[in-house]
Amino acid sequence: MNVKLRSLHDLDALKRVLEHRRQEAEQLRQREREAARRAQNAATLFAQAVGPVQPLKAHGRKQHDLPRPAPWPRQRELDEQAALQEALSDEFDVETLLETDAELSFRRPDVSPDVLKRLRRGQWSIQAEVDLHGLRRDAARERLGAFLREAMQRGLRCVRVVHGKGLGSPGRQPVLKGKVRAWLVQKSEVAAFVQARGSQGGHGALVVLLRG
């Protein structure tokens, strides 16, 4: 260290700096010795706990990678839980929510009445359909729910639901027709629906508008 000292004050300052550096170096060495001592103690305790050991002989066999377990279908589980939470009731009184026209159309309060007119006129192209005709009630309800979820995932807006006219039901009563309307009203993604035109299925089908 080439320092030109001009007074005793400078000499005292230099001594203090050197002493401070010496103390820092000593503290560093002390920490290193302490860390080494702790590591040695840990190794000694491990050796005492394990006892004498002998290395395994090389077996010469190739170590194969084990197949990874199949991924847990978490998303499917969530979808199934959502489906259970959105279970549709057969006791829902849909008649109080349907329009009082002969075709018993439906629309949400925030949907303009003009939407029903445009649906009846076929101004929306039908992008997909589900045929529930001939299914039992529980099977029809499950298929309808799955169809609507898939339609929403695909971003569809207008779909057709075929429920049949009930001509093959006991007493020739369209039981499924009424159930389908009640189920649709309970689905929040359904904005409106009308009875299909004759060329689209007439009394045996509904044209459904989904929320965008």
pLDDT tens digit at each of 212 positions of the chain = 444 545 555 566 667 777 777 888 888 888 888 888 888 887 777 777 776 777 777 666 666 666 666 665 666 655 555 554 455 555 555 554 555 455 678 999 999 999 999 999 989 999 999 999 889 889 999 999 999 999 999 999 999 999 988 665 555 556 788 889 989 998 999 999 999 988 888 889 999 999 98
For residues 134 and 167, the answer to whether their CB atoms sit within 8 Å is no
Longest dimension (CA), the chain: 121
Contacts of 207 (CB under 8 A, 6+ apart): 119, 122, 124, 126, 158, 159, 160, 193, 194, 195, 196, 197, 200
For the purposes of burial, counting CB atoms within 10 Å of the CB of 99, is it exposed (0-12), middle (13-18) or buried (19 or more)?
middle
By 3-state DSSP, what share of the chain in percent is helix, strand and coil, each rounded to 5?
50, 10, 40
